[in-house]
Amino acid sequence: MNESIDFKKLLEELEEQDKEEHFHYRNFKMGIELDIAGTFLYDGINSLRSMDNFEVESEVFSFLYHISVGIERLQKIIIVLNEEIKDIKEFEDSLKTHSHQGLHNRIKENRNVDFNSRQNEFLSLVSDFYNNSRYNNYLVSTAIDRDIKAIKKFLDKHTEEILNENYFGENLDRRKEILGRVIGSIVKEYYSLIQKICGEKNIYTDEVRADSKALQIFLRKYQKNSLSTILKEEGIAVKELLIYLSNSEENSDFMDFLRGIEPLGIDIANIKGYISSIINGKVPQDLIYEIEELYCDEDIKAELKNRLVQLEIIGNKHINFYDE
């Protein structure tokens, strides 16, 4: 006599098998993807930091490229974690898309993710950039400033400007803040969903490396979810370090070593501008030119080899001083 089939037990076994089959894929590979997504997003925000305006095509391109890739990879992580994989090739092929809106709608089929109009417009902006504008400059008849116009249109709609030419700097900060908030709110929503799915499936895809760019993006809490806060906090930290180095009388082997190097005669009139550029993520070319010129001085030239050896020690984490 044939034994009856326990379909419920069979289904449970198949589900367990599916979990085991794709555990490595979801837990480890998607963990790497999360680190990659966080790195792209951080680098995009860093590109935003260094922009003095929204008029330079290469700077706008770098910002949009890094942000669009970071968001897209986050969306695909959610899909991998959330959806049942019946046919591996079919599933993999379905991920070969760059439609941020399409991926978002796919997530919404199984999960409650409600974006406001500004968030949806930004998804549309990065989706259009990645699918239509990314290779724009290789096309003969297209407009040269398409990306600039697109981001300005978005910002004009969503930024409350101060209508006074003396407030250019503040208006620039406001525009960066709007971008920081909309990107931060999208990222926060997606990462929270990743955490929720990981809790349900008892996997650890949501964990990020300590001291990584991804940690700055996903785990730090910022007012109004604005990722622009990263720029402000890093700027404050560098300024405090500069103030300490300029005023501290405390002694250590490293500080004694630092003070023992004869300073170059950098033009003091240029210092303010140099620091401003460095705080905003750029080492100014004028500073490099000035250092090169100072190195041509005969007195410096004679000791340049030894000086460069000393400079190599500064910032080298593999070299320890006696009192450390």
pLDDT band of 302, cuts 50, 70, 90: confident
Helix, strand, coil: what percent of the chain each, to 5? Answer: 70, 0, 30
First to last CA, the chain: 79
The pLDDT score that the predictor gives to residue 158 is 93
Q: Mean pLDDT over residues 78-83, rounded?
A: 96
Predicted confidence (pLDDT) at residue 6 exceeds the cutoff of 70: no
The domains of the chain are located at 7-224, 249-313
pLDDT tens-digit readout, 260-300: 999 999 999 999 999 999 998 899 999 999 999 999 987 88
Q: What is the pLDDT of residues 22-37, one digit of tens each?
A: 888 999 999 999 999 9
Structure confidence at residue 1 as a pLDDT band (50, 70, 90): very low
What's the pLDDT tens digit per position in 12-24? 655 665 556 688 8
Q: What is the pLDDT of residues 121-158, one digit of tens each?
A: 999 999 999 999 999 889 888 888 999 999 999 999 99
Residues 318, 42: Cα–Cα separation, whole Å? 26
Q: Which of 154-158, 185-189, 220-224, 319-323 has the lowest mean pLDDT?
A: 319-323
For 109, the token pair is: 């089929």
* pLDDT the model gives residue 69: 98
Asked whether residue 48 carries a pLDDT value surpassing 50, the answer given is yes
pLDDT of residue 4: 58
Report the percent of the chain where pLDDT is more than 70.
90
pLDDT at 11 (0 to 100): 60
pLDDT of residue 324: 66
Percent of the chain with pLDDT over 90: 77
The model's pLDDT over 225-264, given as tens digits with 9 standing for 90+, comes to 999 999 899 999 999 999 999 999 999 999 999 999 999 9
Q: Report pLDDT for 296.
A: 93
Picking from 68, 74, 33, 76, the residue whose alpha carbon sits closest to that of residue 47 is 68
Tokens standing for 185? 């709110």
Among the listed residues 67, 47, 41, the one whose alpha carbon sits nearest the alpha carbon of residue 215: 41
Is the predicted pLDDT of residue 43 greater than 90, yes or no? yes
**CB contact at 8 A, 147 and 133:** yes
Q: Given this model, what pLDDT does residue 272 score?
A: 96
